[in-house]
Amino acid sequence: MTARALFGILLAAILFLATPLSAFEIERVVSPGGIEAWLVEERTVPVIVMEAAWEGGTVTDTAEKAGTANMAASLLGEGAGDLPSQAFQARLDDIAAQMSFSVDNDYFNASLKTLVEARDEAFALFALAIVEPRFDDDAVERIRAQIGVAVARNRQSPDWLAADAWYRAALGGHPYALNRQGTPETLARISRGDLIGYTKNVLARNNLKISVVGPISADELGTLLDKTFGALPAEAVLPEIPVVEVASGAQTIVVERDFPQSVVIFGAQGMARDDPDFIPAFMMNYILGGGSFSSRLMEEVREKRGLAYSVGTSLSPLKKAAMMFGQVATRNERVGQSLSIIRGELRRMAEEGVSPAELADAKTYLTGSYPLRFTSNSAIANQLMGIQTENLGIDYVERRNGLIEDVTQEDIARVARRLLRADDLVVVIVGRPNLSPTVEGLPETGDMAPPAAPGRQH
C-alpha cells in the first residue's frame, strides 16, 4: 500500500472518530525557546494535525495593493529554500503530508497533516515554507493569473456583489471593506517585494497561535516547536488598525442587475466577542435567524410564505469591528414583502424577547451539538485554534455549555433591545427589486430561491 493510499484511509478514519469532550485533555506546551502551543495528545490514529495562525490578515492590506495577504497565502506552498514549486510539492507527496495556507480578515492561517512516521520531515518542510518562501517569478505570475480569474468571476456573482457593496456601505474606507482577493488594478501592482515584506512583517513569534492534535508528547512537541518556528522574527511589524462601527442610520442600496431574483444583505452594529453579553446575543441570534429551519425567520419567510429557500442572520465579531447581518434571496417582486417580514420579526424579538420554550429548545440544541465540533483530530485542532484566536481561555471547552445554560429570558431581552434595530439597517439588494411590502395579484407562495452562500467571506 502506498503512503498516499494509507494516508487517505487514515484521514477517513479520523473523520469519523467521535471524541467525547471528557475524553481529551488540552495541555499548554511551552518550548525551551518560549513558543507556546495547545496540545491534545490523541493516539487513536497515527496522524498529527497542526493549525497555526498569525495575527495580521487581509486587514493589513492597503487600498493600493489589496490582495497582497491573499496572494502571499496562495504562494507559500509554491516552493521554499532550495526547492522550487514542483520539487517542494513532490517532497510533500513522497511523505503523504498535506500543507495549506489561507488568510482571513484578522489572521494568516496554516495547516499541516502528517503521518507520525514522516513527522520530522513534514515539520521541516513546513518550517522551510514559512521561513524561506521563494516567490519565484513564474509561480507569482501563475497565481496572479489564477486569482485574477476568481476576481473576474466574483463580479458576476450576485452574492459577492451584495457582500462587497454592504461592507463598503457599512464600514466605509476601513481595511475590512477592501476586497480580500484584490481587484484587477491592485493585483497588477503587487510585486515580489510586497509578498516578501508581508511574510517578514506578519510571520513572527509574538503574534502566533498554535494547536496540535495527535500522537505526540509534550516534550516531543516542545522540541518541534523550536525547530519549526524558532527562526521566525521575534516580533511582528503590524499597522495600527482603527476600531470601526457599522454606519448608523437606515440605508437601502440597490445594485441593479438583470437577475430573476434579488440577493439581499441587511445588517447593523453587532457585539464584540469579549462583551459579557455575547453568549446571550449568540443564543438570541440562533432563535431569530441562526438556527436554520428552527429559526423564526425561516418559519415566517420560508415555511409560512415560501418566499425564499433560505434566510438567516449571523454575528460577525472581528478584532476591530462587530457586525450583525443577514441574507435572503427571493424573487424580485417579493423583496419588499420579505424585508417587511424580516423587519417585523426583528421588532417582535426586540419588544417581546423569546418564550420559555424557545429558550429551552435553544439550550438543548446548542449544548447537545457542541461535542459534534470535536469529531476528528482536524476538528479538534480547528476548535482549539478558534478558542485561542478569540482569547476565550484554555478551559473554555469545559465552561462553554455552562455559559449557555446560565442564559435567561431577561438576558436575551436585554441584548435584543441593544442589537435589533429594524429601522436602522444597512440594506444592499442586487437585482431589480420591487420594494413595496405588499404585491397585488400574486399567489401567497412564490418560487423559492436556491440556497446561496455569500460570494465574499468576511
The set of residues, in sequence order, having a beta carbon less than 8 Å from that of 416 and lying 6+ positions away, is: 284, 349, 350, 353
Residue type, 392: L
- pLDDT at residue 90, as a whole number: 97
- pLDDT at residue 24, as a whole number: 81
CATH 3.30.830.10 in the chain: give the residue spans: 3-229, 251-431
- Assign domain 251-431 one CATH number from 3.30.70.260, 1.10.40.30, 3.40.50.620, 3.30.830.10: 3.30.830.10
Q: Are strands 322-331 and 208-214 parallel, antiparallel or unpaired?
A: unpaired
**Residue 214 to residue 338: CA distance in whole angstroms:** 48
**Residue 122 to residue 67: CA distance in whole angstroms:** 28
- Assign domain 3-229 one CATH number from 3.40.1580.10, 3.40.50.10240, 3.40.50.150, 3.30.830.10: 3.30.830.10
C-alpha cell at 261: 431574483
- Using CA atoms, how far residue 316 sits from 203, 286, 321, 332, in Å, is 25, 13, 8, 27
Q: In what order do the strands lie in the sheet with 251-256?
A: 251-256, 426-431, 261-269, 322-331, 311-317
* Mean pLDDT per 10-residue interval, the chain, length 458 residues: 41 45 85 98 95 98 98 97 96 97 98 98 98 97 98 96 97 96 97 98 98 98 98 98 96 95 97 98 97 90 92 97 97 96 97 97 96 95 98 97 98 98 97 83 39 34
CA 191 vs. chain centroid, Å, equals: 27
Are 115 and 328 in contact by the 8 Å Cβ rule? The answer is no
- pLDDT at residue 261, as a whole number: 95
b/e code 414-446 from CB counts within 10 Å (16+ = b)? bbbebbbbbeebbbbbbbbbbeeeeeeeeeeeb
pTM above 0.85, yes or no: yes
